[in-house]
Amino acid sequence: MDPSSSSSSSSSSSSSSPPSEGPLPWWGVAGALVLLAAALSPRLRFRLRIGSYCLLCLLASALTAPACLLWNRGRTVRNMTIIKNVVRTFKYIYGLRFELKGLEHFEIEGPCVIISNHQSILDMIGLMEILPERCVQIAKRELMYMGSVGLIMYLGGVIFINRKSTSNAKSVMADVGQAMMSENVKVWIYPEGTRNGSGDLLPFKKGAFHLAIQTQVPVVPVVYSSFTSFYNPKKHLFTSGKIRVEVLPPVPTEGLTASDVDELTDRCYTAMRETLFRISERPAEVNGGGPSVSH
């Protein structure tokens, strides 16, 4: 037997024979088990998907913060443009498609108060899909402590309030009013004050409407269709989906005073609730609207 042939045969046998079929590495086994479990368990699939979203937010924030610091040297609403362009890519990762209507109502010279319904932590994707220039958000102060996400919110100019202290929140909102006018900034507020995945609207808090009247700027209502068809934590549902977004005509506040807050709140609440039911293809309630303000 020719040694070269034997060596070639051994090499050919080694090259022609399949790679050594040793056991899978531990991480291969772990990955396969996770994928199998996720395929079998909706709860695990949901947790993996929403966990990946949180991780993505943390990672993207950590990577975007230095860019904001280098580009704009600190906390400024100009960072929102950078943040917006990053977050807008998330829709492709999670298969979310937006149908937009009424964006021309954002073409307002100067400040305004934008209000929208708030359903989940996914709202950030919808927020950044249509965020106008020079627009900051009002957020609960607990979000400031969410690691890199809190940092990026701070750098983007987000205003943090203590929801549990009306007096503190009111004084912060008063300062916001002054800053809005002096720095020509729009403010985005979620008047429900918390996430609400019911497919309906919670009663509205009044701070947004006080702010608009105190600064005599218009209120621009924005409505996102219900996520319940593709996102429901109670049912461990989180798939791809379509979100209709409708920007309603600005509601003027010139000439209004604090005594008009309840009427302005009701007007916005009713218009947004009707829109929410329409774009979510949910039959409007026979008995008209629910409570518009928190009692």
Ligand X SMILES: CCCCCC/C=C/CCCCCCCCCC(=O)SCCNC(=O)CCNC(=O)[C@H](O)C(C)(C)COP(=O)(O)OP(=O)(O)OC[C@H]1O[C@@H](n2cnc3c(N)ncnc32)[C@H](O)[C@@H]1OP(=O)(O)O
Ligand Y SMILES: CCCCCCCC/C=C\CCCCCCCC(=O)OC[C@@H](O)COP(=O)(O)O
Please, what is the minimum distance in Å from the beta carbon of residue 96 to ligand X?
Answer: 14
131 binds ligand Y (CB under 6 A): no
140 binds ligand Y (CB under 6 A): yes
- C-alpha span between 144 and 150 (Å, rounded): 4
Q: Give which of ligand X, ligand Y, none residue 100 binds (C-beta under 5 to 8 Å, depending on kind).
A: none
Determine how many CB atoms are found less than 10 A away from the CB of residue 260.
14
| Cβ atoms of residues 232 and 198 within 8 Å | no
Which residues make up the interface to ligand X (CB under 6 A)?
A: 57, 60-61, 64, 83, 86-87, 118, 124, 137-140, 143, 149, 152-153, 156, 158, 161, 163, 166, 169-170, 173, 189-191, 193-194, 205-208, 210-211, 261, 294
Two structure tokens written together for 289: 């609207």
Helix boundaries (H) for 41-186: 42-72, 79-87, 90-94, 123-130, 147-155, 166-183
Please, what is the minimum distance in Å from the beta carbon of residue 87 to ligand Y?
Answer: 9
Please, what is the minimum distance in Å from the beta carbon of residue 288 to ligand X?
Answer: 22
Minimum CB distance to ligand X smaller for 41 or for 89: 89
Angle between helix 26-40 and helix 42-72 axes, rounded to 10 deg: 110
SS3 177: helix
Minimum CB distance to ligand X smaller for 14 or for 165: 165
146 binds ligand Y (CB under 6 A): yes
- C-alpha span between 256 and 242 (Å, rounded): 38
Instruction: Label residue 145 left, alpha or beta by phi (over 0 means left) and psi (-120 to 50 means alpha).
Output: alpha
233 binds ligand Y (CB under 6 A): no
- Chain residues binding ligand Y by CB under 6 A are 54, 57-58, 118, 121, 123-124, 140, 143, 146-147, 149, 194-195
